[in-house]
Structure 1
Amino acid sequence: MEPHKINVFTQNPTRPLDVTNRSIGQLVDGMLYTGFQGRKLAESVQAWNNMLKEEELTVMMGLTGAMVPAGMRKVIVHLIKNRMIDCLVSTGANLFHDCHEALGKKHYVGSHLANDEELFRHGVDRIYDVFAFEEEFRHTDHLIADFARGLHGKRMSSREFIGLLGKKICEDGNGDGSIVGSAYKYGVPIFVPALGDSSIGIGLTIARRAGVDVDVDQIKDVDEITRIVEMSGKTGVVYVGGGVPKNFIQQTEVVASIMGADIAGHDYAIQYTTDVPHWGGLSGCTFDEAVSWGKIAADAKKVQVFVDATIALPIVAHALHEKNMHEKRKFPLFLWQENGELTIDFKTF
């Protein structure tokens, strides 16, 4: 009988995981030789870690879903403080909930089986299995409206607005553990391209009804984040979910190319999502599809993990922490001019 012929498809055997004493980083390394989404999760850590080793690369994160109410707030703060991300594009809701907790308010462990009519009668809002008090949310709405009064007559991007909000939270002594406070302190810009679609938008509406003139210029957002891409040597993207933040970051490559920049898509792309591509929606569309638009480079390292982000983020963040705790990274320092111009200076963290 002829011996089994080895071909290009059978060069790398799987390695069954054993159960032993090891760190999360070592566990993830072992998962590189398993299958399915376990391997994809490990590949995402490998790709993200490689991004952090690049000489001049800007890491951009898109954040959707109720990650702050679900307890992921300090994970994002860790990524900011340790410059594992350099720019954050978020839903307004996550940042509202972040401010809510910075003010000492809480989200509570609940149940998805609770009676929602009964919750309503008790003034309790439900986010799947997380509870919060509606009255406390409205209190935070009004605090944001009060903050906006000090910005009367200003026209600014969401990056500038959230930066000022983060500064205020730090000055009030509530910045520790806060996403917006940490981003302000460590120079990580935050964009909220759909700011009106959140309780921050509600707070600004309260202020506007009271005669406060605050104009958050969302087209300025498009210009500013595109300048980041234009001025960066390379870019890598990490998406938690999809939605508006995903496309807002993706389209920077298109805008930059229209403006004459010689670029051909983001160089790394990672996504943690529960959406799927066959419904045609952006949140589940593949990075291969994005290549056809010029949003992702054809030779980019692309990893999509179909997983609940509340499972993925803690594992990935711990693995990256272990792998980089003794490493120095060259990260971008963003220097914004009053006329909207941007320069980037890469510093060693």
Structure 2
Amino acid sequence: MSTETLNHVVTELSPAERQRKAELLSTLVEHIDITSFDARPIIDGMSKMSFTSRDLARATAIYNQMLQDPDCTIFLVIAGSTSAGGCMDLYAELVRNNMVDGIVATGASIVDMDFFEGLGHKHYQALEVPDDDTLRSLLIDRIYDTYIDEEALQQTDHTIGEIANTLEPRGYSSREFIREMGKYLVEHGKKDNSLVKLAYEHDVPIFCPAFVDSSAGFGLVKHQVDRAKAGQPYMMLDAIADFRELTEIKIKAGTTGLLMIGGGVPKNFIQDTVVCAEILGHHDVEVHKYAVQITVADVRDGACSSSTLQEAASWGKVNTGIEQMVFAEAGSVMPLLASDAYHRGHWKTRAKRAWGKLFA
């Protein structure tokens, strides 16, 4: 979106509307700090309970097994809005402390949430929810009980377009483009604890198989339209390169573990690397040895988010022996799992994989 269009949007609101918008965007979402509390006693206690508590304790134990296994590459897989809801610093801490080696996520998690805050924008608690038409008139977007300033989001779209404008006109995997976003945040960002920025600094590759299903899409469309009007070539995203690169990591990594929040495309994408490796002739490729999925989806939604890890074993994707489904809202349980793993400290002796250097 051009600067002229952004300025037009900014001047649309009257002083009274500006004041009302400021009232609604007055309470920040504060992201939880897993280093500030020790969840080990809670998880230990939950292991002696039943139902979801025991499932969470077992999932946490499996994640700790991944961290302890010297041969295991760990993928963090994110779908949904937990980043906007308060888990953003949690995910960043996993990267900072070498607790994950690769990330597969939705474009919204990476662009609309993390990169957005990396540029200095914020998410807000919706302490009241007027009708959504009113929110639209005030240029406020809503995710459940969380608000996003649409004007700030459009500035993010514009920044994505600016990054694209600096690149050689050719095909890029989402990993390659997100690395450019991380580089941009190192130079221009306003937040140290950004997942995109830290992943760039630690050579942790981030893949978004549906990257344009986010604010990145608007900025990249504008980049292509502007370049086409000027008779100039433009950059493109190569979804096949995404699949090829991620499969290449899987082949070279050998033993792998999955920590999955939600489901959908990111979940299928990382699981399918096993099948893709076999198609490429690597019949000795290991299924994902460890797998944890935290989700509220069940079979009633009829979608890939509800397919269990046991079901994935029938496709030759995961090991049925070391897996755990946790049916819970991830924002309520991930802080406990991550804090437990952080304070047990198995990450302190892990070798750094730096899979991003594979494509340097």
2:310 alignment partner AA: D
- The corresponding residue for 1:288 is 310
- The corresponding residue for 1:231 is 252
CA 1:326–1:44 in 2, change beyond 3 Å: closer, same or farther? closer
- The corresponding residue for 1:203 is 219
3-state DSSP of counterpart to 1:330: coil
Alpha-carbon offset, residue 27 of structure 1: 1.4
- The corresponding residue for 2:40 is 25
Residues 144-223 of structure 1 correspond to what in structure 2 (within 5 A)?
Answer: 144-174=160-190, 176-211=192-227, 213-223=234-244
3-state DSSP of counterpart to 2:133: helix
Alpha-carbon offset, residue 183 of structure 1: 0.3
Equivalent residues of 2:175, 2:208 under 8 A apart: yes
CA 1:266–1:27 in 2, change beyond 3 Å: closer, same or farther? same
1:153 alignment partner AA: P
CA 1:118–1:279 in 2, change beyond 3 Å: closer, same or farther? closer
Candidates 31, 34, 51, aligned match of 2:49: 34
1:67 alignment partner AA: T
Alpha-carbon offset, residue 32 of structure 1: 0.8
Alpha-carbon offset, residue 279 of structure 1: 4.2
User: Which deviates the most, 92-101 or 278-287?
Assistant: 278-287
Equivalent residues of 1:56, 1:331 under 8 A apart: no
3-state DSSP of counterpart to 2:352: strand
Alpha-carbon offset, residue 139 of structure 1: 1.3
CA distance in structure 2 between the aligned counterparts of 1:80 and 1:329, rounded to whole angstroms: 12
2:78 alignment partner AA: L
CA 1:191–1:112 in 2, change beyond 3 Å: closer, same or farther? farther
CA distance in structure 1 between the aligned counterparts of 2:76 and 2:158, rounded to whole angstroms: 29
Alpha-carbon offset, residue 146 of structure 1: 1.1
CA distance in structure 2 between the aligned counterparts of 1:337 and 1:123, rounded to whole angstroms: 40
CA distance in structure 2 between the aligned counterparts of 1:32 and 1:75, rounded to whole angstroms: 22
For the pair 1:254 / 2:275, whether they are aligned, the reply is yes
Alpha-carbon offset, residue 312 of structure 1: 1.3
Equivalent residues of 2:209, 2:266 under 8 A apart: yes
Alpha-carbon offset, residue 164 of structure 1: 1.2
Alpha-carbon offset, residue 62 of structure 1: 1.2
Equivalent residues, number: 316
1:78 alignment partner AA: E
CA distance in structure 1 between the aligned counterparts of 2:115 and 2:286, rounded to whole angstroms: 37
Residues 60-99 of structure 1 correspond to what in structure 2 (within 5 A)?
Answer: 60-96=75-111, 97-99=113-115
Unaligned runs of 5+ in 2: 1-36, 228-232
- The corresponding residue for 2:67 is 52
3-state DSSP of counterpart to 1:270: strand
CA distance in structure 2 between the aligned counterparts of 1:142 and 1:185, rounded to whole angstroms: 24
CA distances 1:277-334 after superposition (whole Å, capped 9, x unpaired): 35432101111111110011243x0101000011111111111111117831123232
1:56 alignment partner AA: D
Structure number having the greater strand percentage? 1
1:142 alignment partner AA: H
CA distance in structure 1 between the aligned counterparts of 2:252 and 2:40, rounded to whole angstroms: 33
Equivalent residues of 2:75, 2:103 under 8 A apart: yes
User: TM-score under structure 1 normalisation?
Assistant: 0.87
3-state DSSP of counterpart to 1:297: coil
3-state DSSP of counterpart to 2:190: coil
- The corresponding residue for 1:104 is 120
**Which of structures 1 and 2 has the larger relative contact order (alpha carbons within 8 angstroms, sep 6+)?**
2
Equivalent residues of 2:99, 2:347 under 8 A apart: no
- The corresponding residue for 1:342 is none
Q: CA RMSD in A?
A: 1.7
CA distance in structure 1 between the aligned counterparts of 2:274 and 2:38, rounded to whole angstroms: 38
User: Which deviates the most, 72-81 or 259-268?
Assistant: 259-268
CA distance in structure 1 between the aligned counterparts of 2:306 and 2:273, rounded to whole angstroms: 19
Equivalent residues of 2:172, 2:236 under 8 A apart: yes
Structure number having the greater helix percentage? 2
Candidates 139, 142, 165, aligned match of 2:158: 142
CA 1:135–1:23 in 2, change beyond 3 Å: closer, same or farther? closer
CA distance in structure 2 between the aligned counterparts of 1:320 and 1:95, rounded to whole angstroms: 23
3-state DSSP of counterpart to 1:68: helix
CA distance in structure 2 between the aligned counterparts of 1:333 and 1:149, rounded to whole angstroms: 28
CA distance in structure 1 between the aligned counterparts of 2:38 and 2:140, rounded to whole angstroms: 39
Unaligned runs of 5+ in 1: 1-21, 339-349
3-state DSSP of counterpart to 1:210: helix
3-state DSSP of counterpart to 1:239: strand
3-state DSSP of counterpart to 1:290: helix
- The corresponding residue for 2:149 is 133
- The corresponding residue for 2:287 is 265
